[in-house]
Amino acid sequence: MKIIKTITLITLTLILFTSSAPAQSGWWHAHAHVNLTRVRVDAYVYNGFPRPVYCEGRVNGYTLSGHVLWSNYAAVIPPGRNVHAYVYTNLNKPFVNGNANIQCRWY
């Protein structure tokens, strides 16, 4: 009876740890830090994991006149590093808003 309880406990522990790990082989949405100025939208992603990640994303900048300017990028981010992506405009059509959509996976 004790062996069955031990096997059940080990099985449940393995299921818990493997199902709670953040997307071992799939993509996940990364948090992008976005800085907005009148002429630039700057988005960056920091890799706080102990192994490299591959990220793809899009940075959007919304101008006062209603236009959307964007930049796509893809990069491998080493542990402890970050990657920046930019969108620029001129002072005649300044940015009023900006955002980023970034997905990452293990590299």
* Residues 19-56 pLDDT 10s: 445 545 699 999 999 999 999 999 999 999 999 999 99
Q: What is the CATH number of domain 27-106?
A: 2.60.40.10
pTM to 2 decimal places: 0.72
CA atoms within 13 A of residue 18's CA, in its CB half-sphere: 7
80: left (phi over 0), alpha (psi -120 to 50) or beta: left
Domain boundaries, the chain: 27-106
pLDDT in tens, 52-96: 999 999 999 999 999 999 999 999 999 999 999 999 999 999 999
SS3 of residue 52 by DSSP: coil
Q: pLDDT grade, residue 17 (50/70/90)?
A: very low
